[in-house]
Structure 1
Amino acid sequence: MRLNDFNPAKIRVRDQRGGGGGGGGLPGGGIGVVGVLVVLAVAYFTGADPAQLLGGLQDAQQGQVQEQSVGGRSVEESCAVNQYSTEACAHLASLNETWEPKFRAAGVQFEQPILNFYSRSGRSGCGEAQSAMGPFYCPSDMGIYIDTDFFDEMAQRMGAKGDFARAYVMAHEYGHHVQNLTGLALQVRQLQKRNPDQDNALQVRMELQADCYAGVWAANNRARIEPGDIEEGMAAAHAVGDDTLMEQAGRRPVEAAFTHGSSAQRMKWLKTGLETGDEDSCDTFADILR
């Protein structure tokens, strides 16, 4: 996917890589998914064990000797650390440019999220961040958290390759930010507290809506989509379906344990967003929330 050059002064970035804590603070004068494998988001909303769906990925990573990536001390430096960092910053800028006008048209206050880079481990407003958790969104600090090494794992272990697969991850996490700003995330958390037996089912709806929002973003930037991009996105959505992850971990898929939705469901809702380009088509709560 071809993205425009971005202005570092118009995005919010923090960098915890290498303990530098850089990222130049918060540009723009304000405060600050599967995606793919948004396991910390699941833990935050449902209390689930974030390692459960990873099928040994964390153990494998712990057995490897890795050097912690060095981050930047300004937004420009942080976004230039590697290709994945540059892509993530470009995706963030494009997502801001796509969603802010939609909020303005709806008369809803908009606030940019903060893109937080970390390596292997870090800190978030929702607790500890670990690379085995994958990218996630933390509603309490409006932060999207990414260890860019995850994208190599995604390609090598899960078969989700390509720049559009990585764009899907960012756009999915941004979808959770949209849910946070609109108040839907709070509604769902309250509903989960009242109906604890429905925790997972409600979380699945959250994740599928975020997938649909990722498709809406892509549809609104259709002129920049290249041949093969849609196939990459669909492959990524399939790779992070709960049934697929459970099977790969040697477990029998059990729908009651799903927290993100099946591969078929994730592909369906991503496709819905791509085909309509309309966020109103992403109402996965139409039958329970008015």
Structure 2
Amino acid sequence: MPDNDRVATETMVPVNGIELCVATFGEPGDPALLLIAGASGSMDWWDDEFCRRLAAGGRFVIRYDHRDTGRSTCFPAGDPPYSDVDLAHDALGVLDALGVHQAHLVGLSMGGGLAQRIAVERPHRVLSLTLMATSTVPPAYSVSPPATPASEPQWSDRRSAVDRIVAGVRGLGGPFTADEPHLRRLAERVFDRTHDMAASQTNHFRCAGGPPLRERLGEITAPTLILHGTLDPLFPPPHAETLRAEIPGARLVWLDGVGHEFPPTAVWTQVIDEIIDQAGRRTQPA
């Protein structure tokens, strides 16, 4: 498995009155591809080598830390003063800060929900849409937040926090999930880059929801690809099938043996090829 300890150059950018940490791969003149992570997910979960391979396909790849993750602005744990609409606007703000008007969006879990919102409410910003491990329901609100209160010391203790992150990833994964030593190194990197682990691990699950989107999915005009693990325990296969039915012209590609997780290396070739192919598609004239 490629080592993920090498960190791409990171830049802090002003977005919507806060600061977000951004990293890019590839040439700025290539079509932009924005990676939007899931709830509590910093940019670290988009593996460096995965991003490089996407960039090698002729894409300007952008990843970033959501607010309350990584090096981005954090708010007090347990009472976030923002909604998922703000999180979607953050994604657009990252593009604005980089001078990018349109991008191919790749969203995972909650990030897939944010990408759906952008595709519905700001269709002129979206070149194509790739939805991974997500659903028509708001992904951040369909699961319970971590059971341990944010005030308890586990998240502030490096070893305890790393143990909990690794256990969470393995619990939602499948046979291709990274081995424990790799996950521990990644979780340690996440911990070391994060301002407030308690906020990172709780706030996205407690933030307010914006206007419902499901009845508007039929308005999506961007070419849409759905990548979904056959073993996803959080959003079983019917979630992906419903997405395909409700988004006009959407393609559904199954990732055999994959759970609810960032793409494991065993399926990188399939996932990267599909994303690059999707980013080359265009909306057909009516």
Normalised-by-shorter TM-score class: 0.3 to 0.5
Q: TM-score, normalised by structure 2?
A: 0.33
Q: Which has the higher helix share?
A: 1
Q: TM-score, normalised by structure 1?
A: 0.33
